[in-house]
Structure 1
């Protein structure tokens, strides 16, 4: 795959707070070729310098602040990182994903932000959790809310599908990705027991059908993430990288 495997820095938030340079260095040593930022208010110029020094690409940046304040400074920070992808990682009321009218409001807001992002040379995306997938809209054939949202979004808005949260919400993830098609620009790869509250395990060590997931969105960025880990986080990240890379080599 031409795009390097990325890791969401939220996974190492505790380690990052203590030693940014050392943590990024460990990820690079594991073989990750990219990182995804999660806090664009925290010295993005410094993060860009560290990533450049280590040969790491910034695959994207989560920017929930786009929903809470003036978008200009947030988009400028994303552009400073050198990535074209600004991603809204939730931030809307969960109730908006239970009705068509609510989904239309979400789509309208994201469309406006996408136009703002375009002025900075950026593309805007949305990242799901379970609550955008679990609701099924009876008015639309019982399809998951995220799928209905995709039809309402402006064409320039992409999706970063968190494959684990989609599975936890009851989706057949490979089938969902196939239906979403080119709308999917990035995947969050994580694994675990398939429950909402239990910690993640190394990708390939849980319930996720990872080969089928990757095959359903072959051109998407692959971004490994841990929301929580009960064991050795850095060891599990290394194991995740080894497993995903072995699938790409087949």
Structure 2
């Protein structure tokens, strides 16, 4: 499995200096990046920079709005930089207010978007949070209803382990359940605070997830990319992602 970084983690740094941030990410030993926006770089500029740094652009988080309204632009950009996975990363409160009707319509949209991307040699995936396990359709979690409704060749799984555990579900069980349909896995460690406090994201190995067991399960499930992501960092984000990859290296998950 390759080790990637979701660039949302270092969004403040990329906003100031995209090139310099990617240079540091490459120097840390990350093998690839998952975009959360492209700064002001053209696709050709981004491709050349990634080639220079030896980084693989394996995927990008693309909002549902852009998937609906700017899909051609995304396809052109991602094909130029060599990315394969196009991931719907989040849904807004306004969208979720639509209830079951919204979800059923979304599943139909994913079939269409997934087919278009497949024709272009790209792959659609969906990244979960906790709300997919807080709502049900026909007695099953929305998370599972989605993957039952959309053809497995048109929609792949990007499980965020931290959010699965936060939602009270077993991340090991979900890795096993979607083995073979799960090319992308977000490694996000959470730590529970004092009673009444929210939990927060922390560097790998400093939270409550059984990461070594989860990574072992991911290998059996044919995961392609282990992706470090930290929503909020108490330390400078670049220091946090360095700590995380050093943990992976110390635990035998990175050369």
TM-score (norm 2): 0.86
Q: CA deviation at 1:91?
A: 3.0
Kept in 1, the 8 Å contact 2:96–2:102? The answer is no
Q: CA deviation at 1:197?
A: 5.1
> How far apart, CA to CA, are the structure 1 residues paired with 2:40 and 2:61?
12
> How far apart, CA to CA, are the structure 2 residues paired with 1:199 and 1:249?
25
Spell out the pairing of 1:71-86 with structure 2 (5 A cutoff). Answer: 71-86=71-86
Show structure 1 runs of 5+ residues with no match.
none
Q: CA deviation at 1:222?
A: 0.6
Counterpart of 2:52 in 1: which secondary structure? helix
The equivalent residue for 1:51 is: 50
The equivalent residue for 1:153 is: 150
Kept in 2, the 8 Å contact 1:147–1:180? The answer is no
Q: CA deviation at 1:235?
A: 2.0
Spell out the pairing of 1:42-121 with structure 2 (5 A cutoff). Answer: 42-43=40-41, 44-64=43-63, 65-91=65-91, 93-95=95-97, 99=100, 102-121=102-121
Counterpart of 1:28 in 2: which secondary structure? helix
Kept in 1, the 8 Å contact 2:14–2:21? The answer is yes
After superposition, the CA RMSD in angstroms is 2.3
The equivalent residue for 2:233 is: 229
Cα 1:41/1:63, change in 2 over 3 Å:
farther
Show structure 2 runs of 5+ residues with no match.
none
The equivalent residue for 1:244 is: 248
CA-to-partner distance for each residue in 1:66-122, whole Å, 9 max, x for gaps? Answer: 3441321122112122011111112362256x64x5443222111110111123211
CA-to-partner distance for each residue in 1:6-58, whole Å, 9 max, x for gaps? Answer: 00111111111111121111111111111111115742332222111000111
Counterpart of 2:253 in 1: which secondary structure? helix
> How far apart, CA to CA, are the structure 2 residues paired with 1:212 and 1:149?
26
Q: CA deviation at 1:135?
A: 2.5
Kept in 2, the 8 Å contact 1:5–1:222? The answer is yes
Q: Does residue 205 of the first structure (1) align with residue 203 of the second (2)?
A: no
Kept in 2, the 8 Å contact 1:40–1:62? The answer is no
TM-score (norm 1): 0.88
Counterpart of 2:179 in 1: which secondary structure? helix
Aligned length: 243
> How far apart, CA to CA, are the structure 2 residues paired with 1:41 and 1:229?
21
> How far apart, CA to CA, are the structure 2 residues paired with 1:180 and 1:40?
30
> How far apart, CA to CA, are the structure 1 residues paired with 2:34 and 2:53?
14
Kept in 2, the 8 Å contact 1:126–1:159? The answer is yes
